[in-house]
Structure 1
Amino acid sequence: MLKPMLPTLIFEAPTGPNWVYEIKYDGFRAMLHWDYDGIQLISRNGNLLNEQFPEIITQCEELSDVMKPYLPLIFDGELCLLESPFKASFEFIQQRGRLKSEAKIAQASASKPAQYLVFDLLVLGNENLMNRRFQDRKLTLSNLFADVKLPSVVDPTNRELIQFVPYEQDFHLIWAEATQANAEGIIAKKMDSTWDEGKRTTNWYKIKNWQVGAFFILGYDKKNAFFHVGVMRKNEIYEIGLFSHGLSPDERQALLGVIQANASKETAGFIKVEPGICVELFYLELYKEQLRQPSFSKFRFDVEWQDCTWEKLVRKTPLLPEGIEITHPEKPLWKDKSITKFEYIHYLVEVSPYMLPFLKDRLLTVIRYPHGMYGEKFYQKNCPDYAPDFIQTSMSEGIDYIICNDLKTLTWLGNQLSFEFHIPFQTIYSKGPSEIVFDLDPPSRDAFPLAKKAATILKEVFDGLKLTSFVKTSGNKGLQIYIPLPENRFSYDDTRQFTEFVANYLTTMEPDLFTTERLKKNRGNRLYVDYVQHAEGKTIVAPYSVRGNDGAYVATPLYWEEITDDLSIEDFPLEMIIERINEKGCPFAHYFEAKDEQPFEPVLEFLRQK
């Protein structure tokens, strides 16, 4: 089996007309050997990964007919679990790599499939391309992807898991994209270079997107020659990692001498020192709240150890877009939860890849809580005069609405303490509804089982009509069911026929449980099926928006199989959502792909005949 060609680590990228640049994705390097006899996904160490990543093999098998004329072939690429088009998650791929159970691997590959990002082509149709120039190999690879209609760019939302990694000729442009997305770094490649098996080459360079932070020394491990470092976190000393690399012999000796001179305790294997010696370190990211790949930068004689804090460290990582600052980051927002303003905005940053697609090009109404849950709230539709220039807006019926299409706008709104994000059922470019949403609103949170029963009945109806539906919690006391529609195909009159029919069907089936009565006093303890709310100009809370309630509950997308007797709104507070996505994936991941496949026209024709 082929051994991969490896890049050399440097700190400054080479420039010139013979160099191009690719995003470096944090995953498992793998060669895909594909011939008439089968498919083998081989790791950097020569291990077969077919059983570990069955979704990639399945996709290859589905492509067998279109790929047959090009076989045999060998791809060089990276197995990743993408967070964005520029960043793969080290944590997710590590978790995936540790799975051993066939059932757990199957579940993971279905709920959060990996992508195989192809950046080189070594063999095509029995022709060995390794001695060709990188530029020629890349062009041949690009043409192949175009011929078989595989994605020509990296896209975490695309169901096609085998994707092409393009290069960029402008270093500054791709570096800005990498740092903005907190990517691992970039790879610089020489255009006229050949592919050298198993070599650590200077024709490819990796430039990592190092983060920088200040830390204090906690001790020295004599056996492994590691220095332990910490920060202050909530007024307590927190050990955050250990480092050894980056020190010159003189720096290492000087640091060890200071530690020995100030030791508070020494054993056969460890020298402990009280905080006081401060250093600056490079590191890639915080992984499980520990430094990943830390390396010495310099001593920080100008820093007091008490100023080396977790809060400063996290704020310094490029979570926030350039130009965004958090005012009063330690401000508490919920009375019953220890959630600060910083933690809320951190949530928005992490959830943004899943939330922003639903906010894109929609007139945004937010509910702002200037004092968190400790004060009054107010609705904001008009963009305020003090909004920065980068905020996009769109005028509608005399109101200048904010359009939240990017992370910079989302985090700015978070800093304004916008908790709830409400959006209409269409984009600013739509000539009708982009989706149908049923709002299942029980009289109280205690009556949540009514929402679950209604959702279960409706799922059977939609399945019978072959309509693809998605479900989420409202984040308050009910459930909301979405049916995505193709753009510019249907009117609100069309969808009103359907929503009224479905609502009446539900209330006819269970008149003691469900009602379409708009007056609360006449509903009794029945669940209100709000089909009137689905209309032009009306709004609904966006997926993954936190609600302004005491539990900090989130309007959370669900898998249909989660609608069980045990399901509760309280299962989905803000603090649990990112962990949930990491473990289960996003249930709305393929929402937009379902739009054009939705067979709504036959349903509408049936209703018109009634």
Structure 2
Amino acid sequence: MKPMLLTSSETIPSNEGWLYETKYDGYRCLLKWDLNSVTLQSRNEKELNDYFPELIHFCQINTEKLKAFLPLLLDGEIVYLVNDYKSDFSTVQSRGKMRSQKTILQASKNLPCSFIAFDLLQLKGVEITQHSLMDRKKELADLFQSAGLPLSPSFKDKGTIQLITFSDESDLLWARIQEWNGEGIIAKKKNSLWDSGKRTNGWLKVKNWRYVTVILTLFDQENGYFNGAVYVDEKLEEITTFRHGLSDEEMQTLSTFFQTKGTRISATIWTIPPSICVDVACIDFDGKKLREPRFAAFRFDLKPEHATWDHMLRQLHPIPRHVEITHPDKPVFPALDLVKDDYIYYLQEIAPYLLPFLEQRNLTAIRFPHGVPGESFYQKNVPEYAPDFVRTSFDDEIEYIVCNDLKTLLWLGNQLVIEFHIPFQTNDTQCPTEIVFDLDPPSVEEFSLAVEAALQMKAIFDNFNLTSYIKTSGGKGLQVYIPLPRNAFTFDETRIFTEFVCKFLVEQNPKWFTIERMKKNRNNKLYLDYVQHAHGKTIISPYSPRGNNHGLVATPLSWHEISQQLHPKLFTIPAVLERIKETGDLLKDFYKVGEQQPFAPVLTTLKNLRK
């Protein structure tokens, strides 16, 4: 059995006979699931089990829950979600090309993919493809709900089987897809049946095209393709080859221009110097080439110098509607040659990883209105000119900004909020959601003290069977996190633990560590701050930049990276964007781990010691 195929459309149908889903860019796949086996089958009927062991494992550990529904056959997509509306195809593709078992296993941990189920073809071994789509959707939703499987796509729940959600209204979904730079939208007739391997007008895909300006450089008469490039510094970098989208007249005009004005470098190939700009429509960029490129328009109004790598990145990541970016060329981190537009781009890309820590928390922002370095100030109260979409929360007569979404984050970025400081609890509880230890060496030259303190803390936490996480502070130190179950412990209770750990380390290492709050009395030792973990106090959020010359970021690390070779200067804004492509989100399971954290017996032990 092969997947039913979609038909491309330039418009979204709009009547009550249709439903709408997010289109994800991944591997189309059928999932065959019975009591004794699980098989992932590509649209070309190739088995994919070996490439995505995390999905096979997820099915195996959930087989008992689904026992009453097996055998099952699901239609869906293998994806690597970078947000709830977008999958990074290049990650899925690279996973599908791996051959080394060791490499595959490591990738399944660092870059786990998910299976998004959007149709049910077989239930309890009975084929239901000739039931209406809405009937199949209902059966699929009931199945997921009964088994306790994820009921909507979430990039936070990687390595899982997830149910796609659908809407009867296309406008709101389309707006969200555009805001989060998704691939497109799928419209399906509610009464459609499922036909193996057939292309149908009952399932339509509408792409969320991005338009990139390129310089024409080469024409190959043999295949009719044109090459397009952009400037990287002062050199041209080819990023696309295309022929689709050109009318016969446009094709003839361009090919004639190359052959009469260009330089012939082989029997069928001509080149021209940088002179003609065109817009190319695409769905994404894989790091080297535009994906699914097609000609969109001539840009005779632009000079070739306009088509640069940075401009391409901005075109690929348009600013959401209702968000205005002023003075995009304003220097923000001059030492890194980063302007405001570069900073906004960082926030767009890091938003899926940063926002989970900002959501439902009162924000204390530090703004640098003239860039870094420069004058800065704290801001807690929401300004009067804040747009309507910015949510707020009152606490102690202060109306705080609560950054719950991308639009608010980018608006804050436009205000040149560089540092995002958050409390240890969300707005719906008085209990901490995590414990954080701030390891503060006297200067960056003594960063090795922070490394030593972190490793000793890790040994203590491991002995207590507590899962811990670590990040740089974005300055000269490190910060160690222990996620907690929600609404389970008070700040007074966590204080028992933090005080014990810090005092124990000082007793063991009095020459290196101190809990002395007065800097002048620390004698060049690392300060272990347990007092800061309290109601009303804040900590720099994971993935937040810091207002220092180097553009450093409070960067999550894996514990195996913690060594004397580590240095905070490695984690600049550009470096973190590249790093996350390799490591994935090291905090992806943070809150899930917190709910299972065995902190209660540890606290009981410490309380007994104090008696």
**Pairwise same-fold verdict (TM > 0.5):** yes
**Superposed counterparts of 1:265-414, under 5 Å:** 265-288=264-287, 290-414=289-413
Correspondence for 1:218: 217
**Superposed counterparts of 1:439-458, under 5 Å:** 439-458=438-457
Q: Is the 8 A contact 1:150 1:160 kept in 2?
A: no
Sequence identity (%): 46
**Structure 1 residue 308: Cα displacement:** 4.3
**Structure 1 residue 338: Cα displacement:** 2.0
Correspondence for 2:90: 91
Q: Is the 8 A contact 2:373 2:547 kept in 1?
A: no
Q: Name which of structure 1's ranges 266-275 and 102-111 shifts more when overlaid on structure 2.
A: 266-275
Cα deviations by residue, 1:104-150 (Å, 9 ceiling, x for unpaired) = 11111112211011111111112111122111111111111111111
**Structure 1 residue 21: Cα displacement:** 1.3
Q: Is the 8 A contact 1:241 1:290 kept in 2?
A: yes
**Structure 1 residue 554: Cα displacement:** 0.9
Q: Is the 8 A contact 1:281 1:294 kept in 2?
A: yes
Correspondence for 2:9: 10
**Structure 1 residue 320: Cα displacement:** 2.2
**Structure 1 residue 303: Cα displacement:** 4.3
Q: Is the 8 A contact 1:285 1:291 kept in 2?
A: yes
**Structure 1 residue 236: Cα displacement:** 5.5
**Superposed counterparts of 1:92-131, under 5 Å:** 92-131=91-130
From the superposition, tell whether residues 389 and 70 of structure 1 become closer, same or farther in structure 2 (CA, over 3 Å).
closer
**Superposed counterparts of 1:562-577, under 5 Å:** 562-577=561-576
Between the aligned partners of 2:32 and 2:555, the Cα distance in structure 1 is 40
SS in structure 1 opposite 2:66?
A: helix
Cα deviations by residue, 1:519-574 (Å, 9 ceiling, x for unpaired) = 11221121110011111211111000111222211111111222123222122111
SS in structure 1 opposite 2:375?
A: coil
Correspondence for 2:539: 540
Q: Is the 8 A contact 2:178 2:320 kept in 1?
A: no
Matched, 1:602 2:601: yes
Between the aligned partners of 2:487 and 2:253, the Cα distance in structure 1 is 70
Correspondence for 1:56: 55
**Structure 1 residue 22: Cα displacement:** 1.1
Q: Name which of structure 1's ranges 528-537 and 386-395 shifts more when overlaid on structure 2.
A: 386-395
SS in structure 1 opposite 2:596?
A: coil
**Structure 1 residue 13: Cα displacement:** 1.9
SS in structure 2 opposite 1:372?
A: coil
Q: Which residue type is aligned with residue 426 of structure 1? A: Q
Q: Is the 8 A contact 1:180 1:318 kept in 2?
A: no
Cα deviations by residue, 1:310-369 (Å, 9 ceiling, x for unpaired) = 444433344422122322222333343222221111111101101111011111112222
Between the aligned partners of 1:319 and 1:584, the Cα distance in structure 2 is 25
Q: Is the 8 A contact 1:319 1:349 kept in 2?
A: no
From the superposition, tell whether residues 235 and 565 of structure 1 become closer, same or farther in structure 2 (CA, over 3 Å).
closer
SS in structure 2 opposite 1:93?
A: helix
Q: Is the 8 A contact 2:317 2:345 kept in 1?
A: no
TM-score if structure 2 supplies the norm length? Answer: 0.95
Cα deviations by residue, 1:252-300 (Å, 9 ceiling, x for unpaired) = 1122122323224553232112333343332112331532211122334
**Structure 1 residue 501: Cα displacement:** 1.2
Correspondence for 1:434: 433
Correspondence for 1:192: 191
Correspondence for 1:258: 257
Structure 2 gap segments, 5+ residues each: none
Between the aligned partners of 1:325 and 1:569, the Cα distance in structure 2 is 33
Correspondence for 1:477: 476
SS in structure 2 opposite 1:260?
A: helix
Q: Is the 8 A contact 1:265 1:273 kept in 2?
A: no
Between the aligned partners of 1:428 and 1:434, the Cα distance in structure 2 is 11
**Superposed counterparts of 1:477-556, under 5 Å:** 477-556=476-555
Matched, 1:31 2:30: yes
Between the aligned partners of 2:277 and 2:350, the Cα distance in structure 1 is 34
**Structure 1 residue 206: Cα displacement:** 1.0
Matched, 1:66 2:65: yes
Between the aligned partners of 1:309 and 1:261, the Cα distance in structure 2 is 27
**Structure 1 residue 304: Cα displacement:** 4.5
From the superposition, tell whether residues 160 and 227 of structure 1 become closer, same or farther in structure 2 (CA, over 3 Å).
closer
**Structure 1 residue 416: Cα displacement:** 1.6
Between the aligned partners of 2:67 and 2:153, the Cα distance in structure 1 is 24
Q: Is the 8 A contact 2:29 2:42 kept in 1?
A: yes
Q: Is the 8 A contact 2:219 2:226 kept in 1?
A: yes
From the superposition, tell whether residues 308 and 455 of structure 1 become closer, same or farther in structure 2 (CA, over 3 Å).
closer
SS in structure 2 opposite 1:23?
A: strand
From the superposition, tell whether residues 115 and 492 of structure 1 become closer, same or farther in structure 2 (CA, over 3 Å).
same
Between the aligned partners of 1:406 and 1:327, the Cα distance in structure 2 is 20
Between the aligned partners of 1:114 and 1:168, the Cα distance in structure 2 is 24
How many equivalent residue pairs? 609
Between the aligned partners of 2:277 and 2:557, the Cα distance in structure 1 is 46
Between the aligned partners of 1:209 and 1:515, the Cα distance in structure 2 is 55
Matched, 1:593 2:592: yes
**Structure 1 residue 306: Cα displacement:** 4.6
Between the aligned partners of 1:234 and 1:160, the Cα distance in structure 2 is 39
SS in structure 2 opposite 1:433?
A: coil
Q: Which residue type is aligned with residue 364 of structure 1? A: L
Q: Is the 8 A contact 2:327 2:340 kept in 1?
A: yes
Between the aligned partners of 1:327 and 1:83, the Cα distance in structure 2 is 27
TM-score if structure 1 supplies the norm length? Answer: 0.96
Between the aligned partners of 2:233 and 2:382, the Cα distance in structure 1 is 36
Q: Name which of structure 1's ranges 411-420 and 325-334 shifts more when overlaid on structure 2.
A: 325-334
SS in structure 2 opposite 1:489?
A: coil
Between the aligned partners of 2:67 and 2:351, the Cα distance in structure 1 is 39
Between the aligned partners of 2:71 and 2:402, the Cα distance in structure 1 is 48
Q: Name which of structure 1's ranges 319-328 and 192-201 shifts more when overlaid on structure 2.
A: 319-328
SS in structure 2 opposite 1:212?
A: strand
SS in structure 1 opposite 2:595?
A: coil
Q: Is the 8 A contact 2:314 2:345 kept in 1?
A: no
Q: Is the 8 A contact 2:55 2:159 kept in 1?
A: no
Between the aligned partners of 1:404 and 1:361, the Cα distance in structure 2 is 7
Correspondence for 1:557: 556
Q: Is the 8 A contact 1:151 1:160 kept in 2?
A: no
From the superposition, tell whether residues 413 and 94 of structure 1 become closer, same or farther in structure 2 (CA, over 3 Å).
same
Between the aligned partners of 2:326 and 2:158, the Cα distance in structure 1 is 39
Q: Which residue type is aligned with residue 349 of structure 1? A: Q
